[in-house]
Every structure is written in structure tokens, then in C-alpha cells.
């Protein structure tokens, strides 16, 4: 028959029992009381900082004072999302935009429109503006026709095949 020992919680002052040899020193009755009772030990300096996202004040160890920016992962995610907006191109500025190059390659780029070659296909911008990814400005060319389009073929050495 197990033996139970009686204790009084240091936080809420409620009496509680633990089985002898349970591994607990009998200071706290629950995990929530343990968290509240040990918080001062975890953050002895009582260092606080203001969340850059929501403006709330949160506690943290002094060692994280220079790097911590937000009170929670959710606030940090919202903060980083706002900071990164526009950096990777939003909408039509993004090269993987649903009506951009990636879609054009997948839907229309099966053969070169000039020589009907099915290999080494590239997407060519007709007006040479790489930011204009509308369907009317894109065409599928093989690598050789693309070289000819940009006038690079004329700079090729006929003997070595290398560009000059």
C-alpha cells in the first residue's frame, strides 16, 4: 500500500498529498502553481520589454534582451510578415505569380514557336522587360532561337563555337 505525505502549496496555500517517492519535493500542488512559483527564479532580474507588434509588455531573461522582439510566436510572425511584405515581389511583381512565367511555361511552353524544337525551352520577353510577365509579352523559344533573338549568335566564333 503506497504511503502519502501531506504538503501545503507555496503559491495557493492549499493542502495536497503526494505519494512517497513520487519525485516531488512537495512545494507546489499543480503545474500552474509550479509555473507561478518558479517564475521569479527563472527571471531573477525581472527584465521586461515592449512587444514590437502589439505593444504589450513581456518578461524575459536578461540574456535575450537584445534579440527578443515580440511577446509570442504569433506576434513575431505578424511582425516578420509585415517587414517582408514587398521584399519578394507581391502579385505581378513576383516571378511565380499565377499569370506569370511559371504558369506560361506550364501551360504554353511545349515547343519553340520558331523552329518547333521540343528541347531546351526558355521563356523570352518580347519587349526585353523582365518585369513584364503578361502573356502577350512572353513567348517560348529554344535556347538556339533565343540566342539568335538577342543577337548573340553573331558573336560566336565559327571555328571554336565559343562566344567572343
Query: Considering the domain boundaries, does residue 164 fall inside one?
Result: no
Query: Considering the domain boundaries, does residue 160 fall inside one?
Result: no
Q: Which residue has the higher pLDDT, 47 or 159?
A: 47
96 and 73 co-located in one domain: no
Query: Is 139:109 a contact under the CB 8 Å cutoff?
Result: no
Determine the pLDDT at residue 44.
54
Determine the pLDDT at residue 43.
47
The per-residue pLDDT of the chain, averaged, comes to 78
75 and 119 co-located in one domain: no
Q: 104-149: per-residue pLDDT in tens? A: 666 667 888 889 888 888 888 888 887 777 778 888 888 888 888 8
* Separation CA 136–CA 129 (nearest Å): 12
Q: Which residue has the higher pLDDT, 39 or 49?
A: 49
Range of the domain at 20: 1-42
Query: Considering the domain boundaries, does residue 163 fall inside one?
Result: no
Residue with cell 501545503: 8
Backbone phi and psi for residue 113, each to the nearest 5 degrees, phi listed first? -75, -10
Determine the pLDDT at residue 56.
92
Count the neighbouring beta carbons within 10 Å of the beta carbon of residue 99. 12
State how many domains the chain has.
Answer: 3
* Separation CA 152–CA 143 (nearest Å): 11
* Separation CA 150–CA 135 (nearest Å): 20
Count the neighbouring beta carbons within 10 Å of the beta carbon of residue 22. 12
Minimal CA–CA distance to 77: which of 50, 52, 94? 52
Rounded (5°) CA angle 110-116-118: 45
Query: Considering the domain boundaries, does residue 162 fall inside one?
Result: no
78 and 118 co-located in one domain: no
Determine the pLDDT at residue 75.
93
User: Which residues is 48 bridged to in the sheet?
Assistant: 59
36 and 59 co-located in one domain: no
Amino acid at each position: 500500500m503506497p504511503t502519502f505525505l501531506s504538503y501545503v502549496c507555496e503559491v495557493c496555500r492549499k493542502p495536497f498529498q503526494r505519494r512517497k517517492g513520487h519525485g516531488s519535493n512537495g512545494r507546489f500542488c499543480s503545474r500552474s502553481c509550479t509555473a507561478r512559483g518558479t517564475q521569479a527564479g527563472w527571471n531573477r532580474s525581472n527584465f521586461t520589454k515592449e512587444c514590437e507588434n502589439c505593444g504589450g509588455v513581456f518578461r524575459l531573461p536578461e540574456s535575450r534582451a537584445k534579440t527578443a522582439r515580440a511577446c509570442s510566436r504569433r506576434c513575431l510572425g505578424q511582425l516578420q510578415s509585415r517587414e517582408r511584405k514587398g521584399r519578394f515581389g507581391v502579385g505581378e511583381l513576383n516571378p511565380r505569380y499565377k499569370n506569370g512565367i511559371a504558369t506560361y511555361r506550364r501551360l504554353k511552353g511545349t515547343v519553340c514557336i520558331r523552329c518547333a524544337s521540343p528541347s531546351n525551352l526558355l521563356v523570352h520577353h518580347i519587349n526585353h522587360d523582365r518585369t513584364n510577365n503578361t502573356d502577350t509579352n512572353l513567348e517560348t523559344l529554344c535556347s538556339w532561337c533565343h540566342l539568335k533573338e538577342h543577337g548573340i549568335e553573331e558573336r560566336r566564333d565559327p571555328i571554336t563555337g565559343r562566344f567572343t
